Amino acid sequence: MSHTSRKPFELIHDAYAFFQQHTTETEADIRAYLPHLRAMATADQPIRMLDFGCGDGQFTAALLGRAPWLQARLQLALVEPDDVYRHQAVARLQAYTTQPVCAWPALPPHLQACFDLVLANHVLYYVPDLDGTLAALLRALATSGLFLTAMAGQRSTFAQWCQQCFAWLGQPYPFHTAEELEGALARQGVAYGKEDVHYEFVFPDTAEHRLTVMWFLLGNAYHDVSQPAMLALFDPYAHGEQVVMRLVHEHFMV
């Protein structure tokens, strides 16, 4: 991820926080990741981990809080282009390792076989160059290392909504999908596995909350889309005084 992320988060921190507070996505992702982390707990050597696009560190803190590793084994590096998020992540995640956390605004060039674990949790949607970024992350992975990433595709209601909104604007869809990631992995010639991850998103049904969700999903493009059209997208999911959505994305493992 670079400074030219296709979806800058600087102006949508509050909207993203609303999503985090009302979804089971974090718990679902952690449950799916943990079996892979447990497999790394059998040896005694250090675990060199790169968290690419760590945000404010809340997800990674929740994950590391349940990882079966001693703090002394973890060597943690972060990549996060948002300055506020990056500083928050360093402060939050330092408690999970006895060594200083390393943090960069962009992935340093020419990293080679540096990490035993590379995590990219719901961030590859936004990189300008998916193939180039993926190649760099895989180069940074040690020979026996593990790459884990989460990404939604065409089956995701959110992806469908975003594509519809950009179609209304007569603009191409600017974000990547799980299907594109799968194609990029195939072009890299690496063997990978994948699995579905299901979660829920439930929140009190108000127009303000519906628009907050769309602000999170669309970023800067939000202001150009008709508010009535965005509000109507939620109607099939309204149940009493709540919006209840059951969603799916995929995990990829290399």
pLDDT in tens, 167-220: 999 999 999 999 999 999 999 999 999 999 999 999 999 999 999 999 999 998
* Torsion on CA atoms 58, 12, 125, 134, rounded to nearest 10: -60
Residue 1, pLDDT score? 41
Options 3.40.50.150, 3.90.850.10, 3.40.50.300, 2.40.50.420; CATH for 13-253 is 3.40.50.150
Q: For residues 106 and 83, is the Cβ–Cβ distance under 8 A? A: no
Give which of 173, 150, 170 is closest to 161, Cα–Cα: 173
For residue 233, give every residue at least 6 positions away whose Cβ sits within 8 Å of its Cβ, in sequence order, or none. Answer: 161, 164, 210, 214
Compute the distance between CA of residue 71 and CA of residue 68 in angstroms, rounded to an integer.
Answer: 10
Q: For residues 74 and 46, is the Cβ–Cβ distance under 8 A? A: yes
Compute the distance between CA of residue 60 and CA of residue 121 in angstroms, rounded to an integer.
Answer: 9
Residue 11, pLDDT score? 78
Residue 140, pLDDT score? 97
Q: Which residues of the chain have pLDDT under 70?
A: 1-8, 42-43
Q: Per the confidence metrics, is the pTM higher than 0.85?
A: yes
